[in-house]
Homo-oligomer: A and B are copies of this chain.
Amino acid sequence: MSTGVRRRMGVEERRQQLIGVALDLFSRRSPDEVSIDEIATAAGISRPLVYHYFPGKLSLYQAALRRAAEDLAGRFAEPHEGPLGTRLLRVMRRYFDFVDEHGPGFSALMRGGPAVSAEGAGAKEHVSATNALIDSVRQAAYEQILAHLGVTDASARLELVVRSWISLAESTALLWLDGRRIPRAELELKLVHDFAALAAVSAAYDEDMARLLRTMVKDEPADGPFAELAGRLISLAS
């Protein structure tokens, strides 16, 4: 603190501080490797005091996960202005920012189910709470995309395109984290293109999807990501 005086925190303030410290540690290494002692040291308090606020590592992990989930869901919010491709590209940039900030923790969580594997009673509840959080983030992403497409009641085919693309974005991010062999900016743009490509494949066989695709690309500028891809694909085909 700038005054150099150690101020006594309120209960809720201390809880929030602990969650922040824990999230930072759970993000930078595989959460299984982070101990309560380490969290206590990083927060500048004693181990028993951590237990005063959270019954155990599992509940602290759950709280950190909830904060991360809210943070990530918030990054999907994007003003309804300008070309769709550009909006999606901005969201992809914030998504990769998040993945970058929380790399090892994100990886452990998405690869191995719950990254803090619970032993003993409560393991089942932990698995379902964790899965429910992951699903809530996917659902937030799904609803944001539908809102940008101006669709309130998605057809089964549109739902498939959007939801399966969301899983493609997850696996692309996980593959990126594993060695970072491709620049992330390339992958952010690739995912925007992948979305257009998957929508086009669906539109090739479904009149509703074709109508939606036409609306999607109608206002795209000639230098936007969708038009650029189309131009490159045409020159590839010839």
- Interface of A with B (CB < 8 Å)? 111-114, 117-121, 123-124, 127-128, 131, 156-157, 159-160, 163-164, 167-168, 170-172, 175, 179, 181-182, 186-187, 190, 193-194, 197-198, 200-205, 210, 213, 229-230, 232-233, 236-237
Q: Kindly provide the distance from the CB of A127 to the nearest chain B CB, expressed in whole angstroms.
A: 5
Q: Kindly provide the distance from the CB of A206 to the nearest chain B CB, expressed in whole angstroms.
A: 9
Tell me the complex Cα distance, A194–B203, Å: 12
Q: Kindly provide the distance from the CB of A233 to the nearest chain B CB, expressed in whole angstroms.
A: 5
CB < 8 Å neighbour of A172 from B131, B160, B205: B160
- Please indicate the chain B residues that have their CB under 8 angstroms from the CB of A123 in the complex: 117-120, 123
CB < 8 Å neighbour of A113 from B114, B160, B205: B114
Name the residue on B nearest A182 (C-beta). Answer: B156
Tell me the complex Cα distance, A175–B142, Å: 14
Name the residue on B nearest A186 (C-beta). Answer: B205
Check A127–B131 contact: CB distance below 8 A.
Answer: no
- Please indicate the chain B residues that have their CB under 8 angstroms from the CB of A124 in the complex: 117, 119
- Please indicate the chain B residues that have their CB under 8 angstroms from the CB of A157 in the complex: 182
Name the residue on B nearest A169 (C-beta). Answer: B164
- Please indicate the chain B residues that have their CB under 8 angstroms from the CB of A127 in the complex: 112-114, 117
